[in-house]
Amino acid sequence: MRIGGLASGIDTESIINDMMRAHRIPLNKITQKKQYAEWQLDDYRSVNRDIRSMRDDLFDMTRQSTYMAKTVSVSNENAVGMRALSASSELTGEIEIEQLAKAASWQSAEKKGLTQDSKMSELLGNNEDGEITIAFHDVGEDGKSIGDALSSKAISYEAGDSIETIINKINKDPDAGVTAFFDEHTGKIAMTARNSGEKAITVDGLGDTSTQTAGQNAKFTFNGLKTERESNTFEINGFEITLKEKTKEGAPVTFSSAPDVDKVFDAVKSFVDDYNKLIEDLNSKLREPLHRDYHPLSEEEKAEMKEREIELWEEKAMSGTLRNDPTIQSLLQKMRLTLSNGVSDGQVDENGKTGRIVLSEIGITTSKDFLANGKLEIDEDKLREAITADPNKIYDLLGKSSGPDDEKGLVPRLRDAMKEANDTISRRAGNAGAANESFTLGRNIKEMDNQIERFEERMQKMEERYWREFTAMEQAMSRAQSQAEQMMNALGGGMM
């Protein structure tokens, strides 16, 4: 503890504190500048997250499937199921089902008295290791396997392995192509092909006697064309079709598709809503008032204020960190320009002028309200009509990501502009976890930290020097007082 003024009666500590407070004014300015840079850093990163989030969300708007959503009606859903996957056009017609696809199966000979824990040696009647070969063949007219194996898989076993062990080996091996199980009631091993279709299963290594049931293809007539498929579920022109039961002869199932207007409309409306929200948030940052008289508070200033006063003060001090920011302004300008330009339709008229598709053609326009700052408005009836008439046109205008730049949709262009803004902001403000040395504001903050550290060191040395000087003064005054007392004592003593 330092105690001054014993000889002089001066409040040394208060004087030194006042002197140091004056010297700390430049340090406080650097600290305030650093605090403001940190607020600006946080705001930049918050904006960057918002831009990146919308850019990610817009990816679905570049998928053609978003605009090709279909509703499908089927006259007999018990016989046929249909749904659109990636269809770019409508599908209408009828289907008549002659037979459903079925998976091939195989069963070993009956051998009662065994359980899953029984050894392979008990099942086969020998004590030798071996292997089971499962193969698939073409099917002959008699429904039996013919010709060389189309594919085969050998599963090895040891005589001491249990039946359950070999069943598990078969089921876990995707190349085996079957699902196997052991039935304790009959003592049979049964196998069923994992995929349906016209083929037969043969098994070597589980005895000579077995039962073989060939698989079969689905046979049907689709819009007058008789055809087959190995599975009951297949795809035609981007529609998934599932055959469920045989139809009566001469009583085909009819079907038709149409654009799912509500689903496409909701996707486009969501895009417009997200766009409007982003430009509203970005414009609020650009126009946020900057209160230059409200600086970041020092710890000494906070100590003299109430909590609510600090909160209100810092609310104003933190405002306007991104006011008129050029990166945000540039992004907004590019977004508005992109949406106003439209997209080339690739068609050239007799005058050599390339045609264009614009948002107004599908019922989307820019608000005429100056205060809306370029928000989009939707004529819902017109948009629904455009979707019903030609969903491909909506995709070409908004989502198309291939072809020449002028023919790319508006959304991919918006995403490119957002990516550029993300990169620019990241170079200035970095991302969470980034080292300060890797971005501009971080380097500035680090330099200010170094300045603060050097200033603190100077302040410490200055304060120590003041204390030494005042201490020396106190010591000198103490010696002078001591000498004066001695002189007074000596003079007083002589007079007596």
Distance, C-alpha 294 to centroid of its chain: 39
Q: What share of the chain is helix, strand, coil (3-state, %, to 5)?
A: 50, 25, 30
**The two three-digit tokens of residue 108, written as one number:** 């070993």
Distance, C-alpha 372 to centroid of its chain: 30
Residue 282 contacts residue 322 (beta carbons within 8 Å): no
Residue 294 contacts residue 316 (beta carbons within 8 Å): yes
Task: Give me the pLDDT at residue 487, please.
Answer: 79
Q: Write down the pTM of the prediction.
A: 0.72
CA distances to 107, 134, 179, 203 from 208, rounded to whole Å, are 11, 13, 20, 9
Q: Whose structure tokens read 């083929």?
A: 199
Beta carbons within 10 angstroms of residue 288's beta carbon: 16
Where are the domains positioned within the chain? 25-63+264-287+323-437, 70-100+218-259, 105-213
Task: Give me the pLDDT at residue 342, please.
Answer: 85
- pLDDT by 10s per residue, the chain, length 496: 455 555 556 666 777 777 767 777 788 888 889 999 999 999 999 999 999 999 999 999 999 889 988 999 999 999 999 998 888 788 999 999 999 999 999 999 999 899 999 999 999 888 999 999 999 999 988 888 899 999 999 999 999 999 999 999 999 999 999 999 999 999 999 999 999 999 999 999 998 888 999 999 999 999 999 999 999 999 999 999 999 999 998 899 999 999 999 999 999 999 999 999 999 999 999 999 999 999 999 888 888 899 999 999 999 999 999 999 999 999 999 999 999 988 887 766 666 676 788 999 999 999 988 888 889 999 999 999 999 999 999 999 999 988 788 889 999 999 999 999 999 999 999 988 888 888 899 999 999 988 888 888 887 887 778 777 777 777 777 777 777 777 787 776 544 4
Task: Give me the pLDDT at residue 496, please.
Answer: 43
Beta carbons within 10 angstroms of residue 2's beta carbon: 10
CATH class of residue range 105-213:
mainly beta
Task: Give me the pLDDT at residue 352, please.
Answer: 65
